[in-house]
Amino acid sequence: MRGAEAVLSFVDLLGTRMVRKDRRAKAYRVPELDLKIRTERTRREARLLHKAKLAGVSTPTVYSVDEFSIIMTYLKGRKLGGNARELGAAGKVLASLHNSGIIHGDFTPYNIVVDKGRLHVIDFGLGFFSSRIEDKADDLITMLRCIENRDAFLSGYRKCKDYDAVMRRKSQIEMRARYQ
Ligand SMILES: Nc1ncnc2c1ncn2[C@@H]1O[C@H](COP(=O)(O)OP(=O)(O)OP(=O)(O)O)[C@@H](O)[C@H]1O
Ligand SMILES: [Mg+2]
């Protein structure tokens, strides 16, 4: 498995299948910057996987972290589909993250694993803590650009306590983009 950024491999830990996510050096980056990006994203991802779990969102459990890699539980399943029930559930998940001050940074169907109707969230390497409406709106827009049935997603996202403010900001951001 290879993501856009990291190399994923399976490892066996006491008979349990785990995933190792390695951030390898990128030749096109200045070496010092490359090092900084890889360690920063690895640390961020490990921290946020844990914080999201505390917020009631299912994520892989982190078993170990070092400078450039994380070993976490393997989640079987498939990526988020387009049916209304799943999209509504994904909207609720994003609302839970935002209500806990977590911005995912790359909330797309590829970073949501569905198994037996349950949703799990992965790939927090671009995530951060923020309670800013603008950050929540950006996070929301990323997902809405990937799906067709936006109303289904938004019906779940209504659980976000800043829903109205986020929706207003979303319209402003979209207007800005249109007239640029
Ligand atoms: N814990 C996990 N269990 C099962 N599959 C996983 C797990 N973590 C990652 N994967 C799989 O590996 C893919 C890439 O992982 P991830 O999204 O974390 O890395 P990435 O390099 O940022 O990828 P991208 O930016 O391309 O989405 C995921 O889309 C998913 O299919
Ligand atoms: Mg990903």
CATH of the domain at 63: 3.30.200.20
Tokens in use for 139?
């996070």
Rounded distance between C-alpha atoms, residue 63 and residue 57, angstroms: 18
Going by CA atoms, what residue is nearest to atom 16 of ligand 1? 123
- Catalytic-labelled residue, pool 22, 34, 106, 139: 106
Is the same domain home to 55 and 137? Answer: no
SS3 104: coil
Is the same domain home to 83 and 154? Answer: yes
Residue 24 CA: distances (Å) to CA of 58, 77, 118: 26, 26, 31
Q: Is the CB of 114 under 6 A from ligand 1?
A: no
Q: Is the CB of 7 under 6 A from ligand 1?
A: no
Residue 4: predicted pLDDT: 66
- Residue 59 domain flag: yes
**Last residue of one domain, picked from the residues 55, 73, 91:** 73
The whole-number mean pLDDT for each consecutive block of 10 residues of the chain, a chain of 180 residues, reads: 79 94 92 94 97 97 96 97 97 98 98 97 97 98 98 98 98 86
Query: Global pTM?
Result: 0.94
Is the same domain home to 92 and 36? Answer: no
Provide the CATH number for the domain around residue 109: 1.10.510.10
User: Would you put residue 98 in left (φ > 0), alpha (ψ -120 to 50) or beta?
Assistant: alpha
Residue 3: predicted pLDDT: 59
Is the same domain home to 96 and 171? Answer: yes
Is the same domain home to 145 and 84? Answer: yes
**Last residue of one domain, picked from the residues 73, 99, 116:** 73
Q: Is the CB of 48 under 6 A from ligand 1?
A: no
Residue 139 CA: distances (Å) to CA of 57, 103, 113, 115: 16, 7, 18, 23
Active site (annotated) includes residue 138: no
Residue 178: predicted pLDDT: 78
CA gyration radius for the chain? 17
- Residue whose CB lies within 8 A of the most ligand 1 atoms, among 69, 115, 122, 146, for a mutation test: 122
Residue 61: predicted pLDDT: 96
Residue 2: predicted pLDDT: 57
Is the same domain home to 144 and 85? Answer: yes
Residue 75: predicted pLDDT: 97
* Domain containing residue 21: 7-73
Is the same domain home to 86 and 169? Answer: yes
The tally of domains found in the chain comes to 2
Rounded distance between C-alpha atoms, residue 146 and residue 2, angstroms: 20
- Residue 2 domain flag: no
Tokens in use for 54?
């505390």
Q: Is the CB of 71 under 6 A from ligand 1?
A: no
**End-to-end Cα distance, the chain:** 38
Residue 170: predicted pLDDT: 97
